Amino acid sequence: MIPKFEAIKRAISDEIEQGRWQEHEQVPSENALAQRFACSRMTARRALTELVEQGVLVRSQGLGTFVAPFKSQGSMMAIRNIAEEIAERGHQHSAQLLLLKPVAAETEVAIALAVPAGSTIYRSSLLHLENGQPVQLEDRYVNPALVPDYLDQPFTSQTPHEYLSQVAPLTQAHHLVEAVAPNDTQQTLLKLAGAEPCLQICRRTWSSQGVVSYARLLHPGSRFRLGGHLMVESTSR
């Protein structure tokens, strides 16, 4: 039998993920949850607090607790489906599935997914193309406990990002961006002229249930750039 605070967290997450509670909608109070689940107010408070810490809910002092906005993270760099980005430019997206299988989690990946080293996880590798030109090499590791049917997906009509967003809606993410030198295999797949520098984005994504995936997204330096727009409120003096 799971603890009461976990039952409350799961019930709230289910309401959100199944679309019954929309973003910015107020969730029941601690007292209401305590009455519904026959538990103490402290237990209900713990459930709400942990969901706030996970980015599923937000608190507003004096107003209550609300469903957080449905976005993956709050930095300048939004998480978007590469197929949609390419389509918005009026170009054609296509992808080649290079690998899809269970693997043993190496130390770096195990830490990123918060699973024991050596445990079985799922791995996929895709080459994304824009008008036939390689623009991204996606190497992704997925937590099978949260996405058990991942290996059954052909990824011909939708990208892994799109599929994961449907079955395990993202609540938060972490990015690490760095310039790297591609290896011989990566150079060949991305059709690079020599050792062209690449931009790599390492991305961890969470759902309300935990870490869903860890991906390394490799882009040719000459075909990719990052941008953002920051609005700064002026202060009167």
The domain segmentation of the chain, as residue ranges, is 4-67, 82-220
pLDDT values of the chain reduced to their tens digit, one per residue, 237 residues: 788 998 999 899 888 877 788 878 899 999 999 999 999 999 999 999 988 877 778 887 778 898 876 543 333 456 778 888 888 777 899 999 999 999 999 988 998 898 888 999 999 999 999 999 999 999 999 999 999 999 999 998 899 999 999 999 888 888 888 899 999 999 999 999 877 899 999 999 998 888 999 999 999 987 776 655 444 554 444
- Pair of tokens at residue 142: 């997925």
Amino acid found at 208: S
- In the CATH scheme, what architecture does the domain 4-67 have? Orthogonal Bundle (1.10)
Residue 36 contacts by C-beta under 8 Å, 6 or more apart in sequence? 28
pLDDT at 68: 78
C-beta separation of 200 from 183 below 8 A: no
**Domain 82-220: top CATH class:** alpha beta
Question: Which residue pairs, CB below 8 angstroms and at least 24 apart, start in 40-43?
Answer: 43/4, 43/5, 43/8
Place of tokens 């003096």: 237
The pLDDT of residue 73: 32
Name the burial class of residue 161, with classes exposed (0-12), middle (13-18) and buried (19+) by CB atoms within 10 angstroms of its CB: buried
pLDDT for 171: 83
- Other Cβ atoms closer than 10 A to 62: 5
Structure tokens belonging to residue 35: 């009455």
pLDDT at 70: 58
Beta strand 198-207 with 120-130 is: unpaired
pLDDT at 80: 76
Q: Is the pTM of this model over 0.75?
A: no
Token pair, residue 101, equals 């299988």
Cα distance between the two ends of the chain: 58
Element at 166 (helix H, strand E)? helix 160-167
